[in-house]
Copies of this chain bind each other. A is one copy, B any other.
Amino acid sequence: MELEAVRKYLEKGGGEDDKNASIINGLPLRFFESFTMQGLRVDLIEPGRLICSFKVPQRLLNAGNFLHGGATATLVDLVGSAVIYTVGPPITGVSVEINVSYLDAAYVDEEIEIEARTLRVGKVIGVVSVEFRKKKTGKIIAQGRHTKYLPVASKM
């Protein structure tokens, strides 16, 4: 690809029209979280374990028309943080490390299941695993791991 085309791709925000710019500039403070999570439903919640349902929305698609890898990583962050909440700490702290393996695509309106489990929530460090599956077949879409530093528990 030509360098100028790459520059245009990045500076135009994914090659969309400028009309998006005016929408974006009018959006509320900290919109990113609610923008990504909107539509998430909690099916099971217990200490250390969380199962959510999510119907892949149009707004979170990538250019290939399946769930954007960045949105998946954001859900690892958000649902992974929430499962740490279920075992106690009032503040989940700050992310240290997130990784995601992408195994399959999730298309628009597809029902997916997101399961988060705490692997360890100690005094200073919380580690969780987050798995994305197709609801119909159980096939794994992505698997992530999220490590957080927990400043409250460590009396910082």
Contacts and interface: CB of A to CB of B under 8 A. Distances in A.
A21 interface: yes
Nearest to A90: B1
Contacts of A69: 74, 77, 95, 98
Contact of A97 (B41, B82, B85, B101): B101
30 contacts: A1-B85, A1-B88, A6-B85, A6-B86, A10-B82, A13-B37, A13-B40, A14-B34, A14-B37, A16-B33, A21-B38, A24-B59, A25-B38, A30-B61, A30-B65, A31-B59, A32-B35, A32-B61, A32-B62, A32-B71, A68-B74, A68-B77, A70-B70, A70-B71, A70-B78, A73-B100, A74-B74, A95-B100, A97-B100, A97-B101
Contacts of A47: 3
Contacts of A86: 1, 3, 6
- This protein's copies in its complex: 2
A124 interface: no
Given A74-B68, A85-B1, A98-B99, A24 B34 contact: yes
